Structure 1
Amino acid sequence: MAINEYKYGGVLMTKPYYEKENAILVHADSFKLLEKIKPESMDMIFADPPYFLSNGGMSNSGGQIVSVDKGDWDKISSFEEKHDFNRRWIRLARLVLKPNGTIWVSGSLHNIYSVGMALEQEGFKILNNITWQKTNPAPNLSCRYFTHSTETILWARKNDKKSRHYYNYELMKEFNDGKQMKDVWTGSLTKKSEKWAGKHPTQKPEYILERIILASTKENDYILDPFVGSGTTGVVAKRLGRKFIGIDYEKEYLKIAKKRLNKGATYGL
């Protein structure tokens, strides 16, 4: 092993941006790092890939009109380029996922249909199509469409007859007042109290990740987030006693994730 290489949980890489109490963040190109992860080493993957919304349009944020342009990472020139992007990262994700592991991918209508097709093309079976219904969505400024109030989260496993994914049915039933939990999850957008560490355009609320992680993993399982952003997956994974690896190419977002992970470690949240 070269002196500038570092190994953690089956991952060979340069020294991580952050490491503390079974959680690491890596500043890297997700595609390149996924190629270095030990095959079949991850129990669960949660991915919130770019939605490719940055097209010069406008949106509403806190009652103010703002640009939807998030950065170069959220821009794409064609559907073909977008779909190739999704197939490539999903192909790599499949290689690092354990035979009985599962993957969750969130997205809006702008990208989720490509993601769904890519999952099937790359050898996954979609288990559920979760609809996240937002109770406080931003209004539609043009008044020419219905208000966008939902996002989709796809849950999938390898399309292999021997694959036996884990699902904590009894706990999900308990959370739902003794009834089977349905595939429509209703709740608010991310609370201000979770955004204290900095601004990220698509930060997911902790309650969504908590339900996902509790439903499909056990304590000490390895969870990977290849587009970690503000670090919600890591914060919740750490709180629930899972081992976590997060990757992002944007250092500004990793700074936010690091702050949140440090607070979680300090206060035992």
Structure 2
Amino acid sequence: MKKIEINNIYNLNCIEGMNLIPKNKIDLVITDPPFAINFKANKANYNRTSSRVLTGYNEIKPGDYYDFTFAWMSEVFRILKDSGSMYVFSGWNNLKDILRALDDVGFTTVNHIIWKYQFGVVTKKKFVTSHYHCLYVCKDNKKRKFYPFSRFQKNDKTKDGRSLHYKDKEDVWDIKREYWTGDEKTPTKLPSEIIKKLLEYSSEKKDVVFDPFLGSGQVAVVSKSLNRRYLGFEIVSDYYKFAKKRLDKNMYRIKTSK
């Protein structure tokens, strides 16, 4: 049996990996689970060419998505500390199953955050989807950690005189996607600005931050840069190798080799 060590990532199915973690070990979870749609990494994504995108994305059939979600969330609940929290990102197509599973596992929902990005898929017969959901949940709301003035002080003001800490804590976030032109990349990733914001509000230095669906390694890389401890699983070998390279080299972006 493999021993799971902090400040490491593993090329493992996350449920198998979490089975090796003792209960009440994780301070914070930030994750963007795979979609249950017919998305292929080697095809265009959001009307963008996918050259230099690593292939091998694992998909879950829509009919299995609730069971899949309930299974991994149950393990997260077990390994999360009572003072811990989780942020789960989701597109609208998976939202019903995500919400059901959170309730059924026993999480308490704290906030429903909307991430507004700069543009979505052009449409002719419906409105353009240009946002993503982020569900902020916890195990025990009375013990949950949150640091309201970790980014701005109570009297800090915007240029137009508004309360800066209030604006920063509103639940609609206008944050641009990152496009790594000319660099190695995976099909989807959360902007570092979002991860940094979540880390600063919901964790302290040396806390253990976990991502069961590591992808390109964003959560681990940003956590490491902010002096958090990290842990993650990624089932796709190419993604795992890419994330490990970023962590080992302490590099946020890696230039494509010619």
TM-score tier after normalising by the smaller chain length: 0.7 to 0.9
Note the residue ranges of structure 1 that are not aligned, 5 or more in a row.
10-22
Note the residue ranges of structure 2 that are not aligned, 5 or more in a row.
159-163, 254-258
**Is 2:111 the counterpart of 1:132?**
no
**What CA distance in whole angstroms lies between the structure 1 residues aligned with 2:50 and 2:217?**
26
**What CA distance in whole angstroms lies between the structure 1 residues aligned with 2:217 and 2:26?**
18
**Is 2:135 the counterpart of 1:154?**
yes
Q: Which residue of 2 aligns with 1:239?
A: 225
Q: How does 1:163-242 map to 2 (within 5 A)?
A: 163-174=142-153, 177=158, 178-180=164-166, 181-192=169-180, 196=183, 198-242=184-228
Return closer, same or farther for 1:77/1:185 CA change in 2, 3 Å cut-off: closer
Q: Which residue of 2 aligns with 1:74?
A: 59
Task: Check whether the contact 2:47–2:121 (CA below 8 A) recurs between aligned residues.
Answer: no
Q: Which residue of 2 aligns with 1:101?
A: 84
Task: Quote the sequence identity (%).
Answer: 23
Return closer, same or farther for 1:65/1:257 CA change in 2, 3 Å cut-off: closer
Q: Secondary structure at the match of 1:246?
A: strand
Alpha-carbon offset, residue 120 of structure 1: 1.1
Return closer, same or farther for 1:87/1:176 CA change in 2, 3 Å cut-off: farther
Larger proportion of strand? 1
Equivalent AA in structure 2 for residue 150 of structure 1: H
Q: Secondary structure at the match of 1:230?
A: coil
**What CA distance in whole angstroms lies between the structure 2 residues aligned with 1:130 and 1:208?**
11
**What CA distance in whole angstroms lies between the structure 2 residues aligned with 1:116 and 1:49?**
13
Q: Secondary structure at the match of 1:245?
A: strand
Q: Which residue of 2 aligns with 1:12?
A: none
What's the CA shift string for 1:107-158, capped at 9, x where partnerless?
10111221112111111111010100002x2332x41221110000101011
Structure-2-length-normalised TM-score: 0.84
Superposed CA RMSD: 2.6
Alpha-carbon offset, residue 256 of structure 1: 1.5
1:145 to 119, 123, 126: 126
Task: Check whether the contact 2:3–2:20 (CA below 8 A) recurs between aligned residues.
Answer: no
Task: Check whether the contact 1:31–1:89 (CA below 8 A) recurs between aligned residues.
Answer: yes
Q: Which has the higher contact order (CA 8 A, sep 6+)?
A: 2
